[in-house]
Chain A
Amino acid sequence: MSVELDNELLNVFLIEARELLESLGEQLVDLEASPGDAELLNAVFRAFHTVKGGAGFLGLNAMVELCHRAEDLLNEARNGAVVLNPGFMDALLESLDLLNDMMRAADAGVPAEPAPRSVLDRLLIPGRTGSAPPVALSPATTSAPAVSAPSSPRAYDPIEDEFEAMLDAARNDRAPTSAPSGTINDDEFEALLDSLYGTGAPGAEAVPVGAASAAIPAAATPVAPAADPNAISDDEFEALLDSLHGTAVPGAISVGADSSAIPAAATPPVATAPIVETKTSKPAPAAKPAAATEKRTSSTADTTVRVDTFRLDSLVDAAGELVLVRNRLTNLAPRGTNDPMERAIGELERVAEDLQNAVLRMRMQPVGKLFSRFPRIIRDLARQLGKDIELITEGEDTDIDRTVVEALADPLVHLLRNSVDHGIEMPDVRERAGKSRSGTVRLSAGQFGDRIVITVTDDGKGMDPEMLRRKAVEKGLMDEEQAARLDERECFDIVFRPGFSTAAEVSDISGRGVGMDVVKTKIVELGGTLSIDSRVGHGSTVRLSVPLTLAIMRVLMVRVGNRLLSLPLSNVTEVFELVPGQIQELDGRIVAAHRQRALPLADLGNWAGAAGKGGHVVVVQIGHQTLGCLVDEVLGREDVMAKPLGPFLKDVPGVAGATITGDGRISLVLDLAGLADDAGQVLPSLRMAV
């Protein structure tokens, strides 16, 4: 029945179908906003159509049935027979969710639950429940005994019926086959081909013209009533071909005939007549041959290859190793001589760099892939809350490292939910405040140097610093004096503290007192930063900045005792050399007097298990604190590929990995954020005390 359930095929299908469904969410939301967009409607139709086609071969009947219903509805919409109201859109979006569930089931190897009848029924056009959609489902078929339906035990299954009809057609079983109306069978088709291309010898192009008018109705009428009024059987088709071409072949050059034979075949002047007749005689308007007008919205037909991410990562690793070897060779090479060896190494240097860049680009993905999930989330949320919200996305083609894209998903969902739930006001409230009833959430991405900046902006009610101070005191996060000292920006940062929620009532959407602090933690883990700007009555902007790639880190290489340590440059603010007497004691702490302030010092040597003499200070930002790290020597900036330490050591706090230096030594790459606890306090072991 279906192709043997080939696992590889299933996997390919799942990947490809998932991509289709991913963009389908966004397309459906867009379609709701602009229901008149025929291209979009076609794209949506095609997605369901394509998934149905693939699922059919894999015997995923639940998916086929659901897609089929959705397709029918969309087809009616394309024909202008129905307007896609919010009710239909809800049903389509729900179908999309169900399809995703079914895909997960197929992925897990369990049979999917058929879509609930409630959803299937909501995809039907009211009042047409009993009537026949363009395909299958006619009362005649459904009432027929479900003979030999090997693939599905269910009695009422339009797909099965369609399938049976197809099988019947394939068996040339003429009894239950097609109708004179919208369907055609093989015989009819053959007759049609004959009538179009002539029944006689090649060259007798006058004959088919005469025969054609009779051929199609003749072929069509003798067959029994159809399983499906629009279907065509094999026999009908053969008859159709006969009537079109005779026994000749479409496109064949007729021997002894004028060149006029071909044009005649291509546009048979007479053959159209009976076809018009068939059209007018059919009971219900059948689906238009949809194809001609269809264009996919994203028509970029690019040539792509799918690569397992595991393989990609090992390629990145290998490229990284190559760069390290190159660095060593560069160090070993004699300098200043015009040595062939030096030139070769220079060449290697250039090639290795190109390779590294190319490999890193392979890991990049446009952030739009991530953004495409959000319109759906915003739309559902807005409907749930009774708000009117438009999501504008910008900079979708900004490329980000694949791992960063994935890690950004949850934080961004949370930020967007916050904007919709807490930021944008109810339409009435907005109107009273002199704003448009509909709120806007703007999500934009852009590249700035080696960082990607993503902002989430809403034109909602904004945040009141005074209120935030009050809340912070109420929640015991700080005392009143501390709160009063906070400047505006510091007030906004309160929302990132654990246990803080600004919603007066905790809604089931965003405010549970967890969230913003988790967002912050996640972004910091990525080596990113987060800031908020807000104006009461005008809205808020959350700005997050993350590194372009996690594969390459810019570090400051330092030496402590005999150890080399790499400090992420994003955390380093300043480097200075100690002068005698600069280190002082203050309140039992060791500090350095620097720029008229007491800079707390951290003993990196002690932490790293190396005895250092100090002499230089690297000023870093760890959590909420500024700290000076005592080091023996500052070696300079470097771009390194941090390699993870392996399963046994991967959870050592403060260590992101290790890298090999140009002279073959190992340097630990520090994760400075990991050196602070959850509250942003630096670990006690780092602090220098008397």
Chain B
Amino acid sequence: MKILVVDDFSTMRRIVRNLLVELGFTNTLIQEAEDGNAALMMLRAQPFDLVVTDWNMPNMTGIELLRAIRADAALKSMPVLMVTAENNRDQIIAAAQSGVNGYVVKPFTAVTLKEKLDKIFERLAAAAG
């Protein structure tokens, strides 16, 4: 499995990475990108199974990245978990409309992250089934 963690703040990328490892994603290659542009380049260069992206980033924000992923024929089914600082309805709805699979509000624990990921994978499984 391959997960791409996108955040401009490297501390935050490390936190997300640590939490994923804590959740047992040990056989997982976790890669990092520092903004949407970099993420998109990586996504186009190699296959990933999941994107965990921050919302608020310079150059290309999380929502812009999400829209770019959904607009890319090769990437549009990529599951995307959005990390936000605010549990804001307008933002979440906008993200959902743009095709986000899940969201998680900072700060979060490994348990919360797991719940969010489980929900995403449940939905994926349901869709596949």
Task: Answer whether residue B94 sits at the interface, using C-beta atoms and an 8 A cutoff.
Answer: yes
Task: From the candidates B14, B64, B80, name the one contacting A250 in the complex (CB within 8 A).
Answer: B80
* Structural contact, A296 and B93, CB atoms closer than 8 A: no
Q: Known contacts A13-B11, A57-B106, A240-B93: does B77 contact A232 (CB below 8 Å)?
A: no
Which has the most chain B C-beta neighbours within 10 Å: A233, A237, A296?
A237
Task: From the candidates A53, A186, A244, A291, name the one contacting B107 in the complex (CB within 8 A).
Answer: A53
Q: How far is the CB of B24 from chain A (nearest CB, A)?
A: 16
B124: A residues at CB distance < 8 A: 249
* Structural contact, A196 and B96, CB atoms closer than 8 A: yes
CA distance A16 to B112 in the complex (A): 25
* Structural contact, A170 and B56, CB atoms closer than 8 A: no
* Structural contact, B62 and A291, CB atoms closer than 8 A: yes
B89: A residues at CB distance < 8 A: 178, 181-184, 230-232, 236, 278, 282, 286
Task: From the candidates A16, A183, A216, name the one contacting B9 in the complex (CB within 8 A).
Answer: A16
The number of chain B residues touching the other chain, given as a range, is: 35 or more
* Structural contact, B91 and A289, CB atoms closer than 8 A: yes
Q: Known contacts A50-B8, A231-B88: does B78 contact A244 (CB below 8 Å)?
A: no
* Structural contact, B106 and A56, CB atoms closer than 8 A: yes
Q: Mark B88-129, 1 if CB is under 8 A from A, else 0.
A: 111111101111111101111101100110010001101100
Task: Answer whether residue A370 sits at the interface, using C-beta atoms and an 8 A cutoff.
Answer: no
* Structural contact, A230 and B12, CB atoms closer than 8 A: no
Chain A residue nearest to B38 in the complex (CB): A301
CA distance A1 to B110 in the complex (A): 9
B115: A residues at CB distance < 8 A: 170, 234
* Structural contact, A278 and B58, CB atoms closer than 8 A: no
* Structural contact, B93 and A291, CB atoms closer than 8 A: no
Task: From the candidates B12, B37, B77, B88, name the one contacting A182 in the complex (CB within 8 A).
Answer: B88
B4: A residues at CB distance < 8 A: none
Q: How far is the CB of B10 from chain A (nearest CB, A)?
A: 6
CA distance A305 to B97 in the complex (A): 37
B102: A residues at CB distance < 8 A: 237, 241
B11: A residues at CB distance < 8 A: 9, 12-13, 16-17, 54, 57
Q: How far is the CB of B54 from chain A (nearest CB, A)?
A: 8
CA distance A626 to B107 in the complex (A): 66
CA distance A250 to B101 in the complex (A): 6
Chain B residue nearest to A56 in the complex (CB): B107
Q: How far is the CB of A158 from chain B (nearest CB, A)?
A: 12
CA distance A1 to B102 in the complex (A): 21
The number of chain A residues touching the other chain, given as a range, is: 35 or more
Q: Known contacts A16-B10, A169-B87: does B56 contact A294 (CB below 8 Å)?
A: yes
* Structural contact, B77 and A249, CB atoms closer than 8 A: yes
CA distance A50 to B34 in the complex (A): 13
A202: B residues at CB distance < 8 A: 127
CA distance A49 to B124 in the complex (A): 32
A52: B residues at CB distance < 8 A: 85
B96: A residues at CB distance < 8 A: 189, 192-193, 196, 237, 240-241, 244
Task: From the candidates A46, A181, A252, A292, name the one contacting B63 in the complex (CB within 8 A).
Answer: A292
B100: A residues at CB distance < 8 A: 250
CA distance A301 to B87 in the complex (A): 28
Task: Answer whether residue A290 sits at the interface, using C-beta atoms and an 8 A cutoff.
Answer: yes
Task: Answer whether residue A674 sits at the interface, using C-beta atoms and an 8 A cutoff.
Answer: no
CA distance A441 to B48 in the complex (A): 53
Chain A residue nearest to B15 in the complex (CB): A57
CA distance A23 to B104 in the complex (A): 29
Task: From the candidates A17, A250, A282, name the one contacting B70 in the complex (CB within 8 A).
Answer: A250
Give 13 pairs: A residue, B residue, CB < 8 Å, sorted on A.
A53-B85, A170-B109, A231-B86, A249-B124, A250-B100, A252-B77, A262-B76, A266-B97, A266-B99, A286-B90, A291-B55, A292-B61, A292-B63
Q: Known contacts A46-B56, A170-B111; can you find 18 more A-B pairs with CB under 8 A?
A: A166-B105, A184-B89, A202-B127, A230-B89, A232-B92, A234-B116, A248-B127, A250-B79, A250-B100, A251-B77, A266-B70, A266-B98, A275-B93, A289-B63, A289-B94, A290-B56, A291-B55, A291-B56
